[in-house]
Amino acid sequence: MSDTKQVIEQQHTFFRSGATRNTAFRIGQLKKLKNILKENEQPIFDALEKDFSKPPFETYASELGILYAEIDHLVKNVSSWAKPTAVRGSLFNFPSKNKIYSEPYGVVLVIGAWNYPVQLTLNPVAGAMAAGNCVIAKPSEMAPNSSALMANLINKNFDPAYLHVVEGGAEISQELIDAPPDYIFFTGSTRVGKLIMKSAAEHLTPLTLELGGKSPAIVDETADLKKTAQRIAWGKFVNAGQTCVAPDYLYVHTSVQAQLLDELQAAIHKFYGANPRQSADYPRIVNDDHFERLTGYLDNGTTVTGGKAVADERYIAPTILTDISRNDAIMQEEVFGPILPVLSFTEIDTVISALNDQPSPLALYIFSDNKAQQKRLINDVSFGGGCINDSIVHLANPRLPFGGVGQSGMGSYHGKTSFDVFSHQKSIMKKNTWFDIPMRYPPYNDKLKWLKKLIN
């Protein structure tokens, strides 16, 4: 038996013991996870700095802070969420009592992503724990220092039969999927998501896919351009653009485009100085392959600012490109880096039509003080989630479900949604024996007319 299969078998055995169904056990384990993270903040800062020069502030804000808030929210609410929910019965089944029981799936496999390696691995892990599952986490091998640290911290502090980290690449993921687990949660690219789903289908394993896509930001003529520029620049260039919900490209009304470009350049200078390469707050690209892919976009359109790249540092300056068409290479796939293409528009109908011709993105951002325009974009365009007059911050609210639609994913998580996604909803109807409705039993004779009267 392979090591991966043995770990899953161990977890199946532990799950069948019933220990994880106790909400006090779940709460205790979640608190333990948070305490381990808090006690090891400096090693986490160090690991992410080694992986792609991520500054401690960004690590705390986008990784640990979000995790702490998520775990606290789960701990506070899991006891009430785990209670059966009573629902109304139907006349046909009178009298009856009807309840929905949230039942953990069993063994959950979480395959994490590299760009926010701690948060995007342990956030769904926490949700699966809250729902009463055992969990195997497979961090991304593309952030090796973060992966090794998580394996060390988790595996030395938790029973592997309950929570365990397995390191490795695609072949390890495949072994784990084929074991198989009872549920799979994957965060990553659409291309890999399709492969994961295909493999899961062989075992009919249910899954959630958190993918990506080209998330647009739309700026109309009513927007506050200074604040808009700061919020777009921050959302785009935080983590050097390596964020699944970063503004991937802009649609800007022609009447404000020149001023917005000026404000964007001012925001970049304010954040990272005259030479972002020397800024301690500006990360690097995760590996050489991604660096080469991204630098291939730098000759698209016209460079407004940035455009510089240093291969041996995997540094790409915060870059803005104009004179971009939808046929350019940069518009064919998610950028996932610090390069922001800008398209212009005069009529919002043109934007809506163009967006609806593309796969549904994970996020969409509307910068406008026009409430009618805001409403149109929300109602007429399909996307996972987003913000009005800000970018990427919606994912930090544990009360908002986070997930994609269509090519950008299936299923949502965070907060109560995490509890639900890792739970099977078991419906139970309880009947007494002191009363029965004879109409339902044969012979039916002329009962059909009475049945119609009851139902209609």
pLDDT above 70: residue 143: yes
Q: How many residues does the chain have?
A: 456
Q: What does the pLDDT average to over 376-398?
A: 97
pLDDT above 60: residue 155: yes
Q: Which one of 58, 63, 244, 263 is the catalytic residue?
A: 244
Directed axis angle between helix 371-380 and helix 348-356, to 10°?
A: 20
CA distance 45 to 42: 5
Beta strand 339-345 pairing with 319-322: parallel
What torsion do the CA atoms of 380, 383, 386, 388 make, to the nearest 10 degrees?
-20
Compute φ and ψ for 342, nearest 5 degrees. -120, 125
Q: What does the pLDDT average to over 101-106?
A: 98
pLDDT above 70: residue 151: yes
Q: What digits encode the pLDDT tens for the residues 22-33?
A: 999 999 999 999
At which residue do the structure tokens 């401690």 appear?
Answer: 56
Picking from 269, 195, 283, 202, the residue whose alpha carbon sits closest to that of residue 239 is: 283
Q: What digits encode the pLDDT tens for the residues 281-322?
A: 999 999 999 999 999 999 999 999 999 999 999 999 999 999
CATH class of this structure's domain 216-400:
alpha beta
9 counts as catalytic: no
Is CATH 3.40.605.10 correct for 3-211+406-428? yes
167 counts as catalytic: no
What angle (nearest 5°) sits at the alpha carbon of residue 266, between those of residues 263 and 267?
A: 85
Beta strand 207-210 pairing with 216-219: unpaired
Helix (H) or strand (E) holding 389: none
Three-class DSSP category at 413:
strand
Helix (H) or strand (E) holding 270: helix 257-272
What torsion do the CA atoms of 76, 32, 419, 384 make, to the nearest 10 degrees?
100
pLDDT above 70: residue 184: yes
CA end-to-end distance (rounded Å), the chain: 59
CA distance 245 to 392: 6
pLDDT above 80: residue 456: no
CA distance 39 to 52: 22
Q: What digits encode the pLDDT tens for the residues 195-251?
A: 999 999 999 999 999 999 999 999 999 999 999 999 999 999 999 999 999 999 999
At which residue do the structure tokens 């630098």 appear?
Answer: 295
CB 220 within 8 A of CB 253: yes
Q: What digits encode the pLDDT tens for the residues 21-66?
A: 999 999 999 999 999 999 999 999 999 999 999 999 999 999 999 9
pLDDT band at 1 (very low <50, low <70, confident <90, very high): very low
Other beta carbons within 10 angstroms of residue 223's beta carbon come to 22
pLDDT band at 2 (very low <50, low <70, confident <90, very high): low
pLDDT above 50: residue 68: yes
CA distance 47 to 51: 6
Q: What does the pLDDT average to over 360-373?
A: 97
CA distance 450 to 326: 63
Please return the burial class of 156, using the count of CB atoms within 10 Å of its CB with bins 0-12, 13-18 and 19+: exposed
At which residue do the structure tokens 């009475």 appear?
Answer: 450
List beta partners, residue 316. Answer: 309
List beta partners, residue 104. Answer: 423
What angle (nearest 5°) sits at the alpha carbon of residue 425, between those of residues 421 and 427?
A: 170
Higher pLDDT, 139 or 433: 139
Q: Which one of 58, 210, 263, 334 is the catalytic residue?
A: 210
CB 244 within 8 A of CB 362: yes
Name the residue ranges covered by the structural domains of the chain.
Answer: 3-211+406-428, 216-400
CA distance 233 to 114: 22
CB 298 within 8 A of CB 307: yes
Q: Give the count of alpha carbons within 13 A of 177, CB side only.
A: 24
Mean pLDDT of the chain: 96
- Quote the percentage of the chain above a pLDDT of 70: 100
Q: What digits encode the pLDDT tens for the residues 431-455?
A: 988 888 888 889 988 888 888 887 7
Q: What digits encode the pLDDT tens for the residues 261-274?
A: 999 999 999 999 99
- Per the structure block, which two tokens stand in for 46? 């160090």
Beta strand 302-305 pairing with 319-322: antiparallel
CB 429 within 8 A of CB 417: no
Annotate 3-17 with b (16+ C-beta within 10 A) or e (fewer).
ebeebbebbbebbee
